Structure 1
Amino acid sequence: MTDDPGRALIRTKSTSDRRRQIWRAASVVIALVAGVLLGTARSYSHGQDIRNRSIDLSALVQGAGKRVVTAQSRAAGLQQDIDALAGSDLSPQVAKARQEADALSAAAGLTAVRGPALRVSLSDAQRDSDGNYPAGVNPDDLVVHQQDVQSVVNAMWAGGAEAMMIMDQRVVTTSAVRCIGNTLLLQGRTYSPPFVITAIGDPNRMSRSLDAEPGVALFQTYVQHYQLGFEIDPVKDVTLPAYAGLIRLTAAHQEKK
């Protein structure tokens, strides 16, 4: 049986109409998407050309660091207000909880610590009079890296450190050593080398632990070949300040061995 020519013509027109409708709808969608993209680009660029726009990560980090310092100062003031209000008219339950928290303050790094210490300083290789590193050397071999600082920190903890400070900040359980290039990022603040780690404890024991740490031994090979800085100095008496930042860790427990 053959199809009726009239029906075939109707089907052809119907198919053609559907295709035209689909293309119209697709054109509208494409135009809308293009408009959104152009609007977003203009909003981001503030009307300026963004093709050659670059992001200065160092400036972003420094700006964020300044905001962190401001926020920490404000938080410290608010904490003082809270402590002053909480010091009066405490219920027995609250008073007991505060006593238990105060007993843990030293272990958490929330109190100042004083005693003999070991101080370690790590610095980049020296530049020449023109501010350049030696020619033909990989620049990565001439700077202190995150793993170098972390190796020193781990070795001093392993050597019985009771309290530790990196630069001017007290190290606590939630502290994390991060490096962006040759810039140290610690608890929202940035530092340039030399990086100084001070730990209270037995200086001789911590010094032996540094000698036994593979990461420290590897760093010392770069010290010998490329003149990076590495100094270890015992300190008879030093006071490490209490940690004054926010405590984000809410719970922890020690597993029984």
Structure 2
Amino acid sequence: MRADRATRLASLERWRDLFRIRLRGRWRPAAIAMFVFAGALFVTTSINSKGLDLRESSITDLDHVVRSERDHAKDLQDRVASLNREVGSLSRQVSNTRVEQLQAEVDELRDPAGFSAVNGPGLTVTLTDAPKKEIDAANADPNDELTPDDLVVHQQDIQAVVNALWAGGAEAMTIQGQRVISTTGVKCVGNTVVLHGVPYSPPYRISAIGDVDALQTSLDDSDYVNAYLQFVDVYSLGYQTEASSRLEFPAYEGVATLKFAKAGDAPQQVRD
């Protein structure tokens, strides 16, 4: 009896060991496949995120995204400026009469084109969105004709101030500290304004060098600026002017290539 039991026990142990070997052989490739799949998933996520966090909390953090994109654009602009200076330095080293003549013409146009630093008396206009409570109130009442879109600064508001300052004899101008030149465009992207590829959030500061009185008079005479001021009075949009005895503007150091241009006589837009 004991021999039979020993034989049965030995047989069961052999079957158990055989089952473990087979089970181990099946799980090993499965485990490897799972690790490979997980690695591929991590790589795909990293590529799609392009350096941004894909979690919902980060997606909604628009300020973080704006700051990140602005820093990236600033790095690219600094690189462009460095390359432009290098090209200019190499061009001046070329001993050729025609090249020297062209370089002299370029140097003569640098100031009026905005490629030289300038300073002088001027005026700064600051535009800001309405207070959050006003925007929340507009969101809360769907029957109200006033919308949150009416309570924020738009590109046409900035452009109207810019146009009025140019009309007032501005000699040079900056928006958010960036030099404005003939190819400068102001664009709205969401609730930010993009200038030279860099996104900015309010407040928006537009500064101009020139005769302060003439600049202020031109702002006062602008139909669009006066329409904007009605929203300032009723809904507390921000509008402030500040005269300065000396403003200092940097030279424009970005790309100045004109890609698209079309002449036209579009009527001036006025905020409803």
Q: From the two aligned structures, give the one with the greater helix fraction.
A: 2
What residue is the counterpart of 2:219 in the other structure?
210
Aligned match for 1:72, one of 71, 77, 83: 77
**One-letter identity of the residue aligned with 2:136:** Y
What residue is the counterpart of 2:243 in the other structure?
234
What residue is the counterpart of 2:159 in the other structure?
150
The TM-score, its normalising length taken from structure 2, stands at 0.66
Give the distance between the partners of 2:237 and 2:161, measured in 1 at CA: 15
- Give secondary structure in 1 for the equivalent of 2:136: coil
Contact 2:69 2:199 in 1 (8 A): no
- Give secondary structure in 1 for the equivalent of 2:153: coil
Contact 1:116 1:203 in 2 (8 A): yes
Give the distance between the partners of 2:187 and 2:149, measured in 1 at CA: 16
1:60 CA drift (Å): 7.2
What residue is the counterpart of 1:173 in the other structure?
182
Q: Could you list the runs of 5+ residues in structure 2 that have no partner in the other structure?
A: 1-43, 46-55, 262-272
Contact 2:80 2:253 in 1 (8 A): no
1:201 lines up with 2:219 in the alignment = no
1:77 CA drift (Å): 2.0
What residue is the counterpart of 2:5 in the other structure?
none
1:31-74: CA deviation from partner (whole Å, max 9, x where unpaired): xxxxxxxxxxxxxxx59xxxxxx9x6968776654443222222
Give the distance between the partners of 1:119 and 1:153, measured in 2 at CA: 11
More deviation in 225-234 or 86-95?
86-95
1:195-242: CA deviation from partner (whole Å, max 9, x where unpaired): 000000111111111111111111111101111110011111111111
Give the distance between the partners of 1:162 and 1:176, measured in 2 at CA: 18
Contact 2:124 2:207 in 1 (8 A): yes
1:161 lines up with 2:170 in the alignment = yes
What residue is the counterpart of 2:136 in the other structure?
133
- Give secondary structure in 2 for the equivalent of 1:198: strand
What residue is the counterpart of 1:112 in the other structure?
117
Identity %: 41
More deviation in 162-171 or 177-186?
177-186
Give the distance between the partners of 1:106 and 1:132, measured in 2 at CA: 43
Give the distance between the partners of 1:249 and 1:228, measured in 2 at CA: 34
**One-letter identity of the residue aligned with 1:231:** Q
Aligned match for 1:92, one of 94, 97, 106: 97
1:81 lines up with 2:90 in the alignment = no
Rg (Cα) greater in structure: 2
What residue is the counterpart of 2:234 in the other structure?
225
1:119-162: CA deviation from partner (whole Å, max 9, x where unpaired): 1000011124xx96334352112111111111101101111111
**One-letter identity of the residue aligned with 2:186:** V
Q: Could you list the runs of 5+ residues in structure 1 that have no partner in the other structure?
A: 1-45, 48-53, 253-257
Instruction: Identify if the C-alpha distance between structure 1 residues 141 and 132 changes in structure 2 by more than 3 Å, giving closer, same or farther.
Output: closer
What residue is the counterpart of 2:22 in the other structure?
none
**One-letter identity of the residue aligned with 2:175:** I
Give the distance between the partners of 2:255 and 2:93, measured in 1 at CA: 23
1:121 lines up with 2:121 in the alignment = no
The RMSD of aligned alpha carbons is 3.0
What residue is the counterpart of 1:28 in the other structure?
none
Aligned residues: 203
Give the distance between the partners of 1:168 and 1:111, measured in 2 at CA: 14
- Give secondary structure in 2 for the equivalent of 1:196: strand
- Give secondary structure in 1 for the equivalent of 2:132: coil
